[in-house]
Amino acid sequence: MSTRPWFTVNGKAVVCVGDPVSCGSTVAAGDALVQIS
C-alpha cells in the first residue's frame, strides 16, 4: 500500500502515486477504490 495520504472524490477513496491526472481519470472510470502505481 502507498504511504501517501488518502483523499476522496465524490465519496470514492483514491490514492495517487505519481500522476494525479491519471488518478483523476481512473476515478472518472468509476472504480470505488483505486491505487495508481
Give all strands of the β-sheet with 12-15 in edge-to-edge order.
7-9, 12-15, 33-35
Structural domain boundaries in the chain: 1-37
Phi-psi group of 18: left, alpha or beta (phi > 0 → left; psi -120 to 50 → alpha; rest → beta): left
Tens-digit pLDDT string for the chain (37 aa): 444 555 666 666 666 656 555 555 554 444 545 555 5
Cell of 2: 502507498
Q: Is this structure's pTM higher than 0.75?
A: no
DSSP string of 1-37, one letter each residue: ---SPPEEETTEEEE-SS-HHHHHHHHHTT-SEEE--
Q: Which amino acid appears at position 26 of this protein?
A: T
pLDDT digits (tens, 9 = 90+) for 15-25: 665 655 555 55
